[in-house]
Chains A and B, each alone.
Chain A
Amino acid sequence: MFTDAAVAAALSPERLSLTVLPTEKCNFRCTYCYEDFAIGRMRAPTIRGLKALIGNRVPHLRHLTLSWFGGEPLLALPVVMDVGAHASSLSRQHGVTFNAGFTTNGYLLTYDLFCRLLEIDHNEFQITLDGDEEWHDQTRIQANRRGTFNVIWKNVLSYKRVEGHFAITLRLHVHRDNIESVRRLYKRLHDEVLVDSRFRIYFHKISNLNPAERIGESVLGTKEYLDAIDYITDRNSTRDMPGVPISEEHLQSYICYAAKPNSLIIRADGRLGKCTVALHDSRNDVGQLNEDGSLSIIDDKLRPWFEGFRDMSEQALGCPWSMLNTGGSS
């Protein structure tokens, strides 16, 4: 059952959520990744279009959310700083609530860069770890095959020295083979990081998004996964983070950004999309951002993403992409 507030927020013309891919290249080659890294850094006409879109919309909004995604968004830092500062400044001018953050691998997010991003009101970060060094460095590797754990860990610890508000979600990937490794990592996080309430944990079950890779054999069933979370946390997760969903299995009445009319993905080449998983499916190409900030929307391709509202289907609103694949709406 969805709350009125959740439905209204999903439909509100006074809200705009933009998930921006400033580059679709990545410095990592995670063994389970579904992206192909084919599209490089956002070019000037698309950047102009994005800034114009924000400039046109902000005076009519109450809330603007900018979520940087990729590829690795911090590989395109000039784009992030240019567009992010523009959005932050305009939102302040017009009294619009502004939230901005990153889905990043954390490798490039040094203490100094972290502070620079806070200065432009970008203060939400999701950083993924696949376990402690033993497992993380097998799956979340650089393009040159080298491990990444120690650099990310050093970066994460450094943020504790930063004053002010930010929110870091450490997403811990879990699969059949890394449970002991994640348990060791959780203990370390519990002792060294979670003492700071600006950090939180979010577990995520590795899914088989790239069938060509061996990870498919290690995907956990739902019960096994929930048991694993209990084991990893010694059943302490609800005490440590009361009232906070700790995994995708704990989300209730969740409306995915892809189902919301006020949410769009802006790809590095200016294509408009709805879902960050379905990047290679033409049903996700719902239009184009133009250099003047206008949108060329393909209505017939956009509307199916909203179908869940027809009967308030929890499944279709929680993951419209899954419903498009099965051909149903509820």
Chain B
Amino acid sequence: MNPTFDKIDPSGITVQADGSILFNNRTLRRAVLDTPTDTGSQIAADNYGTCTNSSVCSGTNLDCANTGDCSGADNLGQCGKVIW
């Protein structure tokens, strides 16, 4: 894990009146913005959205229920959402 994410001070995170998020810790903000969140290895909590994988899907590829070669047009589609 990125060491910046090891310990985060919640008191340094503020939801502002316009709905935006303010980070007191600029290093944390930079790390958050620089980390890809749309990869095929997102955890189940973020297991939703349109599946656009373009490589081999595996059991750890929880973005999508597909298995096998995900590059084919017949193996793309909508991912399920499992947050409840």
Using CB atoms and an 8 Å cutoff, list the residues of chain A in contact with chain B: 1-9, 11-16, 53, 56-57, 60, 65, 97, 99, 101, 103, 123-124, 126, 165-167, 169, 171, 197-198, 200, 202, 204, 241-245, 251-257, 261-262, 264, 293-297, 299, 302-303, 306-307, 309-312
Contact = CB atoms under 8 A, between A and B. Distances in A.
Nearest to B6: A312
B75 to A, nearest CB: 10
A14 B37 CA distance: 11
A103 B35 CA distance: 30
3 shortest interchain CB distances as A-B pairs: A8-B35, A306-B10, A165-B78
Contact of A243 (B5, B35, B67, B81): B67
24 contacts: A2-B1, A3-B1, A3-B41, A5-B41, A6-B43, A8-B33, A11-B13, A13-B33, A16-B19, A99-B49, A126-B84, A243-B57, A243-B61, A243-B67, A244-B62, A244-B82, A251-B44, A251-B45, A252-B44, A293-B19, A297-B17, A306-B10, A310-B9, A312-B7
A264 B16 CA distance: 12
Nearest to A198: B78
Contact of A295 (B19, B23, B62, B83): B19
A251 B62 CA distance: 11
B42 to A, nearest CB: 5
Contacts of A126: 81, 84
Contacts of B33: 8, 12-14
A310 B8 contact: yes
A251 B82 CA distance: 9
